[in-house]
């Protein structure tokens, strides 16, 4: 599906539309939209005049827009008055699909609310329905509309890389674009699974895992050679030819020919034993044990499935879990549970189909995809994935045999994972209710922000904010604040907290306006549906401050200056006597300070929040301190970039030697002109 040549075509791509399509009075632009990492296609951005539906909303505006839509495949976007995308959908016929929305008859409350909030729509006409499907998945992942099924976790998967750009290939964990020359094996479900596998493979095949620069500068074998995790090619402990044989064995094992590798090692062990070379035989024995360890941690290794991803979906309690198992080269590379945000009224087939399109938007596709449930547009999805992969991709719902066992196992894992999540969510919900009762809130909070500072005698001071909600900690909302003010006395915790509060809430006011009256979920059906569809309030209901009355006085003054003191509840947590956990004092406006019973679940909940902000603040402080410790004086010289800095250090050895060098010596360094030499010299010599 490569882009077509439009050199001699009129702007707007009219030749791609049906002959009866009327383009009069429409704003049409030809665009090339990416449908994924490997596919680009020509589409038409179809934007009716804004004046056609000015002042209209809901079904009325849709009725106006649908009149000029073509009977062609494409993608549509529904947006509210603020310009936020509410929903992205695809259609075999844009005119027919959008007409359904214009009729005003809806099967679910979700669709009704979506239409009522729509104030405008945008359309992209594609050449085929396959292109529309791929573009829809791409736009959903990029725009994250609140009424679509949304993937919550979109991390790239880790791979094992056997490099091919060095005389002695190394074995590494790899994420991201596969641009480095070599062989990639995976995907693995987690970085931990990759790490464990690499450790075992190092014991089995003695492959190096060091960097090329470390390898080039070795004069004697490192510790990994001493503990039998590396063959020592860097210092000639093994010839390049023999090391290449180890690399080939590792490739065979990771490519599914594990039995062949184990047989060869067993034969070599037997021969060494018969030759009375027991030390060599012991090495082969340990390698066999390492290979068995790898396979024992892979769980199910099917005999009839060489390369496939297995998906199973389970719905319960208004939530969804999709379990994914990865099988490559006949081996199980792990599994991962996803909890997409979807309307409870959606059927499993619709949720799973939308999830699959987004899942493979930027990931390599296996030759087979096995599902626990059939999905809508299954054949269309298979065609789209096949077109992007450049080979056939089969999607099926097994009914018997080993493949059915694999989907059943995935479904059982999905049930158990969702059961655990529902239990955790229920517990979190009860804790939030108890939290509201304890601190006199009118309703359970949806967003809690916790603040703390970290420093050593005022140096490298960092403020930290963590966020918690109905589903636990929301780590993508965490923020750190490097303390910038020069007016703060080193170690002044009140001043640091004042700066953090000012920066946080000033920015919040600038980006999101005043505190929305209905920002929190109050238990109504509409608000609960909002929360399910993926919205999370930007404004906190409660802020917890790690500090006593003094900290709270500073914080409340900042909130009062910003005019939001009565809109955000601020609670202080002071450490108890002897700093013992369980003796904390709480400071709330309008109440005397108080403590909670030692075994109160709400106290444990608050302690968890405080411990998490401590962890995050200390980690941020240590990272900043480490960066300062390795900072070079050369970094402070304007005009000295990484290249010149590297050249100076390579020539003189240390930054201290550079500071003592004369201008004539500095000029001898490659890339250092007389002007730059004077700049460096003057930086270190005031006279």
**DSSP codes of every residue in 351-390:** HHHHHHHHHTTSS---SEEEESS--TTHHHHHHHHHHHHT
Give SS3 for 586: strand
pLDDT digits (tens, 9 = 90+) for 323-366: 999 888 777 778 888 888 888 888 888 899 889 888 888 778 88
Rounded-to-integer distance, Cα 548 and Cα 43, Å: 60
**Contact assessment for residue 569 and residue 561, using Cβ atoms and an 8 Å cutoff:** no
119-123, 331-335, 571-575, range with the lowest pLDDT: 331-335
Average pLDDT over residues 583-594: 86
Is the confidence at residue 50, as pLDDT, over 50? no
Class of the CATH domain delimited by 308-420: alpha beta
The pLDDT, as a whole number, for residue 580 is: 59
Residue entry with tokens 């009977």: 71
Q: Provide the pairing of β-strand 74-79 with 85-91.
A: antiparallel
pLDDT digits (tens, 9 = 90+) for 611-632: 898 898 888 878 777 766 556 6
Name the pTM for this structure: 0.66
Q: Edge-to-edge strands of the sheet including 159-163?
A: 171-174, 159-163, 182-185
Rounded-to-integer distance, Cα 524 and Cα 526, Å: 5
The pLDDT, as a whole number, for residue 35 is: 41
Which are the contacts of 375, defined by CB distance < 8 A and separation ≥ 6? 349, 350, 352, 353, 356, 381, 395
The pLDDT, as a whole number, for residue 1 is: 38
Which listed CATH number (1.10.357.10, 1.10.150.20, 1.10.30.50, 3.30.1370.100) goes with 633-684?
1.10.150.20
Domain boundary assignment for the chain? 14-143, 159-296, 308-420, 439-627, 633-684
Rounded-to-integer distance, Cα 516 and Cα 539, Å: 8
* DSSP structure class, residue 516: P
The pLDDT, as a whole number, for residue 109 is: 79
Average pLDDT over residues 59-76: 84
Average pLDDT over residues 233-237: 89
308-312, 490-494, 652-656, range with the lowest pLDDT: 490-494
Domain 14-143 classified CATH 3.40.1440.10?
yes
Rounded-to-integer distance, Cα 148 and Cα 151, Å: 10
Is the confidence at residue 448, as pLDDT, over 90? yes
CA angle in degrees (0–180, nearest 5) for 345-60-98:
55
- Name the CATH superfamily, with its identifier, for domain 439-627: UvrC, RNAse H endonuclease domain (3.30.420.340)
- Residue 484: pLDDT band by 50, 70, 90 thresholds? confident
> Which is more confident, 248 or 633?
248
The pLDDT, as a whole number, for residue 10 is: 35
Which are the contacts of 372, defined by CB distance < 8 A and separation ≥ 6? 311, 312, 313, 397, 407, 408, 410, 411, 414
- Residue 512: pLDDT band by 50, 70, 90 thresholds? confident
The residue among 64, 61, 118, 56 whose CA lies nearest residue 88 is 118
Residue entry with tokens 């290939």: 169
Two domains, one topology: 14-143 and 439-627:
no
Contacts 24+ apart (CB under 8 A), 235-243: 238/206, 240/167, 240/168, 243/168
Percent of the chain at pLDDT exceeding 90: 9
């Amino acid at each position: 599906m490569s882009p077509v040549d439009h050199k001699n075509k009129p702007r707007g791509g009219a030749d791609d539309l049906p002959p009866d399509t009327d383009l009069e009075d429409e704003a049409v632009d030809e665009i090339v939209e990416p449908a994924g990492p490997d596919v680009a296609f020509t589409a038409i951005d179809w934007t009716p005049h804004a004046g056609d539906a000015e002042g209209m909303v809901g079904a009325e505006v849709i009725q106006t827009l649908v009149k000029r839509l073509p009977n062609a495949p494409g993608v549509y976007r529904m947006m509210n008055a603020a310009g936020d995308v509410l929903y992205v959908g695809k259609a075999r016929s844009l005119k027919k699909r959008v007409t359904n929305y214009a009729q005003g008859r809806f099967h679910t409350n979700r669709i009704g609310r979506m239409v009522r909030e729509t104030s405008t729509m945008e359309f992209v006409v594609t050449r085929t329905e396959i292109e529309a499907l791929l573009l829809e998945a791409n736009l959903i992942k990029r725009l994250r509309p609140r009424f679509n099924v949304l993937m919550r976790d979109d991390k790239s998967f880790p791979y094992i890389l056997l490099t091919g750009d060095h005389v002695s290939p190394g074995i590494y964990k790899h994420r991201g674009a596969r641009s480095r020359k070599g062989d990639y094996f995976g995907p693995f479900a987690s970085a931990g699974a990759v790490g464990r596998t690499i450790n075992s493979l190092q014991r089995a095949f003695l492959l190096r895992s060091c960097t090329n620069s470390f390898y080039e500068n070795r004069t004697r074998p490192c510790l990994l050679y001493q503990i039998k995790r590396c063959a020592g090619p860097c210092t000639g402990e093994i010839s390049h030819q023999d090391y290449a044989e180890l690399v080939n064995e590792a490739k065979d094992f990771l490519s599914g020919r594990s039995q062949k590798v184990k047989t060869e090692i067993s034969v070599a062990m037997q021969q060494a034993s018969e030759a009375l070379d027991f030390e060599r035989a012991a090495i082969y024995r340990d390698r066999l044990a390492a290979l068995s360890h790898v396979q024992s941690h892979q769980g199910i290794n099917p005999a009839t499935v060489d390369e496939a991803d297995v998906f199973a979906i389970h719905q319960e309690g208004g939530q969804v879990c999709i379990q994914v198992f990865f099988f490559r080269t006949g081996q199980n590379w792990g599994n991962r549970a996803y909890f997409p945000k979807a309307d409870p009224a959606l059927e499993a087939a619709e949720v799973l189909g939308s999830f699959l399109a987004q899942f493979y938007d930027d990931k390599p596709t296996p030759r087979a995809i096995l599902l626990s449930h059939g999905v809508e547009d299954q054949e269309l999805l298979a065609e789209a994935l096949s077109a992007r992969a450049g080979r056939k991709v089969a999607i099926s719902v097994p009914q018997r045999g080993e493949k059915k066992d694999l989907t059943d196992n995935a479904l059982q894992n999905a049930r158990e994972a969702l059961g655990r999540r529902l239990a955790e969510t229920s517990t979190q919900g009860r804790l939030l209710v108890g939290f509201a009762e304890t601190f006199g809130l009118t309703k359970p909070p949806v967003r809690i922000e916790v603040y703390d500072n970290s420093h050593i005698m005022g140096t490298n001071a960092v403020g930290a904010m963590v966020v918690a909600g109905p589903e636990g900690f929301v780590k993508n909302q965490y923020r750190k604040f490097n303390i910038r003010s020069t007016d703060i006395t080193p170690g002044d915790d009140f001043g640091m907290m004042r700066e953090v509060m000012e920066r946080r809430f000033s920015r919040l006011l600038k980006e999101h306006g005043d505190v929305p009256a209905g920002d929190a979920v109050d238990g109504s059906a509409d608000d609960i549906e909002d929360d399910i569809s993926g919205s999370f309030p930007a404004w906190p209901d409660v802020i917890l401050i790690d500090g006593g009355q003094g900290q709270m006085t500073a914080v409340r003054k900042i909130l009062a200056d910003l005019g939001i003191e009565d809109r955000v509840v601020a609670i202080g947590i002071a450490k108890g006597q002897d700093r013992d956990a369980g003796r904390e004092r709480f400071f709330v406006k309008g109440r005397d300070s108080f403590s909670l019973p030692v075994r109160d679940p709400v106290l444990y909940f608050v302690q968890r929040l405080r411990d998490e902000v401590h962890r995050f603040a200390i980690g941020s402080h240590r990272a900043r301190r480490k960066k300062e410790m390795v900072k070079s004086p050369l970094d402070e010289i304007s005009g000295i970039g990484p290249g010149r800095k590297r050249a100076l250090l390579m020539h003189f050895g240390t930054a201290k030697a550079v500071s003592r060098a004369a201008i004539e010596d500095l000029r001898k360094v490659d890339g250092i002109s007389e002007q730059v030499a004077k700049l460096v010299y003057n930086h270190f010599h005031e006279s």
